[in-house]
Amino acid sequence: MNKILFRGLILVLSIFAVYQGLKEVPWTKWFGIDEKYIEIEQEVGDALWHLIESSETISTDTQNIKVVDSIVNQIVIRNKLQNIRFFPHVIDNLQVNAFALPGGHLVVHTALIEKVETQEQLAGVIAHELSHITERHISKKLLKEFGVAILTGATGGGEGARKVLTFISSRAYDRTLESEADMQAIEFLYNAQINPLGLAQFMEIMSESDLPNELDWISTHPSSEERAQNIKNRVDELPIKVYKDLNI
Amino acid sequence: MIGENPNISDCERASNSYIMSIVAIAIGLPIPIINLVATFIFFLAQRKASYFVRWHSMQALLSQLSLLILNSRAWYWTYDIMFRGEEAVSNEYIAYLIAVVLINLTEFFATLYAASKVRQGIDVRFWFFSDLTDTFVKK
């Protein structure tokens, strides 16, 4: 019996050693799998944006577009994010909402722009959504919900894409991803010399407001006050900086 | 020698137990359990056969069982990635798939070798599985 156990153990350990050895090889890099995922993300994102474009009214308010574009540009340039593609879009919609799509599309509703009290608050929301893009949270969320097969199918538009879009625009990420995006947003804003407290202020406004909105990550999150406080605490830890007045 | 001087018919039947698992591999790759079921049915059919035949049927069965476990994991992992999106294609996943393919290939050639040798009445004892077979199959 000891001989069997010994040989069995040797066999299992040998298989395990082969596996461990193979694991060290950068297969995903060799096979270009990361690039393939980014390609799929971009195709899915473009398909979803075309769907929005065909069903929603794209804002023609040049001031709103200018404000959103300027904020995005400031964050991108000051954080050296030029190697990532970003496509900010403003759409006429009465729901207070903003969301990121795969492939760098950022959708901001006009109702949100009207709702914010300062441009720093809008910048906070935009920075939060940009963080979801840079940290690839959208892809993680979509892969978890739909899997590669369905997601790839969504690139063709149609019902699959519609389902994915409804999911993206109306669901919050999980607590860890939201906190990660909050912290990343603070860094983005801080580097861009935009006061990061705007994000905390907007969270407080939305958690007190009873207006209908689809910003789930603020309105329905059980710990939005706690998150606002976490943001304030994090900002307090940062070296003092003179922020620029956003007056776009 | 397992058993004493197996006759030609016994050699062929024992060799067929290995052939069975090889044939099943061709059909069973997408659904790992088919290999095992095929080999198990063959094993059941040989219950009354000579010790030589029963022993080799059992060795073929046990080696298939280990493959079932490894192949099933590969199958479900792939399913998770493709349809449930629990995780993305990772180094760990690719490494596991390659390891499983290597093990399947090793098993495939070992089984072919065993089938050919056993048909000639020559014993082939697989590492670990032969010892395990000794404990399960009594004369």
> Tens of pLDDT along B6-16?
778 888 888 88
Residue A117 DSSP SS3: coil
- Give the predicted TM-score (pTM) of the model: 0.64
A90 beta partners: A108
What distance in Å separates the CA atoms of residue A231 and residue A180, rounded to the nearest whole number? 11
Cα angle vertex A133, ends A129, A138, to 5°?
95
Q: Is residue A246 part of a domain?
A: no
What distance in Å separates the CA atoms of residue B86 and residue A218, rounded to the nearest whole number? 26
Return the pLDDT at A157: 58
| Chain A residues within an 8 Å CB radius of B95 | 19, 22-23, 25, 27
Return the pLDDT at A38: 80
What is the pLDDT averaged over residues B77-103? Answer: 84
Q: Is residue A217 part of a domain?
A: yes
| Chain A residues within an 8 Å CB radius of B102 | 18
Q: Is residue A96 part of a domain?
A: yes
Tell me if chain A has a CB within 8 Å of the CB of B110: no
Nearest CA in chain B to A11: B128
Q: Is residue A188 part of a domain?
A: yes
Q: Is residue A2 part of a domain?
A: no
What is the pLDDT averaged over residues B29-52? Answer: 76
Say yes or no for a CB contact (<8 Å) between B95 and A148. Answer: no
CA dihedral B50, B53, B55, B61 (to 10 degrees): -140
Give CA separation, B40 vs A84, A114, B17, B18, B23, in Å. Answer: 56, 71, 9, 11, 13
What distance in Å separates the CA atoms of residue A142 and residue A169, rounded to the nearest whole number? 12
Q: Is residue A9 part of a domain?
A: no
Best mean pLDDT range from A56-60, A149-153, B27-31, B87-91: A56-60
Indicate the pLDDT class of residue B4, thresholds 50, 70 and 90.
low
Q: Is residue A8 part of a domain?
A: no
Host domain of residue A65: 32-237
Tell me if chain A has a CB within 8 Å of the CB of B94: yes
CA distance A26 to chain B (A): 6
Q: How many CB pairs under 8 A join A and B?
A: 69
Assigned token pair, A88:
């900010």
What distance in Å separates the CA atoms of residue B63 and residue A31, rounded to the nearest whole number? 32
The number of distinct structural domains making up chain A is 1
What distance in Å separates the CA atoms of residue B21 and residue B28, rounded to the nearest whole number? 9
CA distance B31 to chain A (A): 19
Residue B38: exposed, middle, or buried by beta-carbon count in 10 A (0-12, 13-18, 19+)?
Answer: buried
Rg (CA), chain A: 22
What is the pLDDT averaged over residues B25-31? Answer: 61
The shortest CB-CB distance from B127 to any of A1, A11, A148 is to A11
What distance in Å separates the CA atoms of residue A204 and residue A227, rounded to the nearest whole number? 9
Assigned token pair, A89:
């879009």
Ranges under pLDDT 50 in chain A: 220-222
CA distance A119 to chain B (A): 37
B111 beta partners: none
Indicate the pLDDT class of residue B82, thresholds 50, 70 and 90.
confident
Q: Is residue A245 part of a domain?
A: no
Percent of chain B with pLDDT over 90: 12
Tell me if chain A has a CB within 8 Å of the CB of B136: no
pLDDT digits (tens, 9 = 90+) for A64-103: 999 999 999 999 999 999 988 899 999 999 988 899 988 8
Question: What number of CA atoms fall less than 13 Å from residue A7's CA on the CB side?
Answer: 11
